[in-house]
């Protein structure tokens, strides 16, 4: 069966930027994030062996989420000045390598990745490469996660999600709604952390059933906190769930191809990536035109 690898572009761009602190092109432009991104992509392709591949980039914050919570992701710092210009280089690399990428204004990468994954999983196996815990809600028999924080390189399925969270994949959105998500600046129920949220969902099954049966919560303090935060929890469900967004894709355009060696060579020369250029110019192959 075909396998689609979907990569959370900005997440890996930031990861690459912080992994390699200083690297510049012969012209003095920063290239550390580009170099790290390319190497990470090579490693993922070797590990996952996808037949199809797409990198998805953030296009800004969802208007619906901002309307529900104006402070949504407001605490995040500005993108580092040396990283921003390197994003264009990453997109240039993907185009030269024959790898599809996508970005649309106002569309969060998470939502597009989720939509594409659900659609593709009707026919293919899908692997999402990201450390974002929101994607755990998508895990199924056809959708797995490649978490860069997991050094084993294992593709996460239901068992790994259950071990990490204490809940089933289909309960992850409710788990996040109860405890909140500091990364996205989403406040949860006071004093409810991962363990308490998991215990509540084990007992009641869902947020809806929990809120309908609050009198059954044994702890007075917890029951009062849940009652006072019920509107927050319902709002959080809308924030953390990954809705369908417009998503049109052609399987052939996601197929992994050989890429344009000449274009890749010119990019590597411009960036000063001598090792990558040497690998590209394999013995017996025609020399890449570098001008």
Domain of 57: which CATH number?
Answer: 3.40.50.1010
Rounded Cα distance between 232 and 131, Å, is 25
Instruction: Clarify whether residues 84 and 151 are in a common domain.
Output: yes
Q: How many CA atoms lie within 13 A of 153 on its CB side?
A: 8
Instruction: Clarify whether residues 185 and 134 are in a common domain.
Output: no
> What is the 3-state composition of the chain as percent helix, strand, coil, each rounded to the nearest 5?
50, 10, 35
pLDDT tens series, the chain, 291 aa: 899 999 999 999 999 999 998 999 999 999 999 999 999 999 999 999 999 999 999 999 999 999 999 999 999 899 999 999 999 999 999 999 999 999 999 999 999 999 999 999 999 999 999 999 999 999 999 999 999 999 899 999 999 999 999 999 999 999 999 999 999 999 999 999 999 999 999 999 999 999 999 999 999 999 999 999 999 999 999 999 999 999 989 999 999 988 999 999 999 999 999 999 999 886 554 444 443
Inside any domain, residue 87: yes
Inside any domain, residue 232: yes
Inside any domain, residue 123: yes
Instruction: Clarify whether residues 115 and 253 are in a common domain.
Output: yes
Instruction: Clarify whether residues 235 and 251 are in a common domain.
Output: no
Instruction: Clarify whether residues 221 and 259 are in a common domain.
Output: no
Tokens 């994949």 locate to 169
Q: Between β-strands 186-187 and 180-181, what pairing exists: parallel, antiparallel or unpaired?
A: antiparallel
The token pair at 264 is 């890749």
Q: How far apart are the first and last CA of the chain?
A: 41
Inside any domain, residue 290: no
Instruction: Clarify whether residues 273 and 212 are in a common domain.
Output: no
Instruction: Clarify whether residues 254 and 177 are in a common domain.
Output: no
Q: What are phi and psi of 54, to 5 degrees?
A: -145, 140
Inside any domain, residue 89: yes
Instruction: Clarify whether residues 186 and 90 are in a common domain.
Output: no
Inside any domain, residue 271: yes
CB atoms near residue 241 (< 10 Å): 16
Closest CA to 178 of 163, 193, 162, 167: 193
pLDDT at position 41 is 96
Inside any domain, residue 287: no
Number of domains comprising the chain: 2
Instruction: Clarify whether residues 260 and 220 are in a common domain.
Output: no
Instruction: Clarify whether residues 261 and 192 are in a common domain.
Output: no
CA 235 to chain centre: 22
**Reduced to 3 states, what is the DSSP secondary structure of residue 145?**
strand
Give the CATH number for residue 176: 1.10.150.20
Number of H helices, E strands in the chain: 14, 8
Rounded Cα distance between 174 and 167, Å, is 10
Domain of 13 in residue numbering reads as: 3-160+243-280
Instruction: Clarify whether residues 10 and 154 are in a common domain.
Output: yes
CA 237 to chain centre: 19
Judge whether 115 and 245 are in contact, CB under 8 Å.
yes
Instruction: Clarify whether residues 46 and 111 are in a common domain.
Output: yes
Judge whether 180 and 187 are in contact, CB under 8 Å.
yes
Inside any domain, residue 291: no
Longest alpha-carbon distance in the chain: 75
């Amino acid at each position: 069966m075909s396998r689609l690898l979907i990569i959370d572009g900005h997440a890996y761009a930031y990861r690459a930027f912080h992994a390699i602190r200083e690297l510049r092109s012969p012209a003095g432009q920063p290239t550390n994030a580009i170099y790290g991104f390319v190497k990470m992509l090579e490693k993922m392709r070797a590990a996952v062996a996808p037949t199809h591949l797409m990198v998805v980039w953030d296009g800004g914050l969802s208007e619906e989420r901002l309307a529900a919570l104006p402070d949504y992701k407001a605490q995040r710092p500005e993108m580092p000045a040396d990283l921003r210009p390197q994003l264009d280089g990453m997109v240039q690399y993907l185009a030269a390598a024959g790898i599809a990428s996508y970005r649309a204004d106002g569309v969060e990468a998470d939502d597009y990745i989720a939509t594409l994954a659900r659609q593709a999983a009707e026919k293919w196996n899908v692997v999402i490469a990201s450390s974002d815990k929101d994607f755990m809600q998508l895990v199924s028999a056809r959708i797995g996660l490649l978490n860069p924080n997991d050094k084993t390189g294992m593709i996460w399925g239901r068992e790994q999600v259950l071990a990490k969270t204490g809940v089933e994949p289909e309960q992850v959105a409710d788990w996040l709604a109860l405890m909140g998500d500091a990364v996205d600046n989403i406040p949860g129920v006071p004093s409810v952390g991962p363990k308490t949220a998991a215990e509540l969902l084990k007992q009641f099954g869902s947020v809806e059933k929990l809120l309908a049966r609050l009198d059954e919560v044994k702890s007075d303090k917890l029951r009062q906190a849940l009652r006072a935060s019920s509107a927050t929890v319902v709002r959080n469900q809308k924030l953390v769930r990954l809705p369908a967004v417009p998503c049109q894709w052609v399987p052939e355009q996601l197929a992994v191809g050989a890429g344009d060696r000449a274009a890749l060579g010119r990019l590597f020369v411009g960036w000063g990536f001598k090792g990558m250029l040497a690998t590209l110019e394999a013995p017996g192959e025609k020399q890449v035109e570098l001008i």
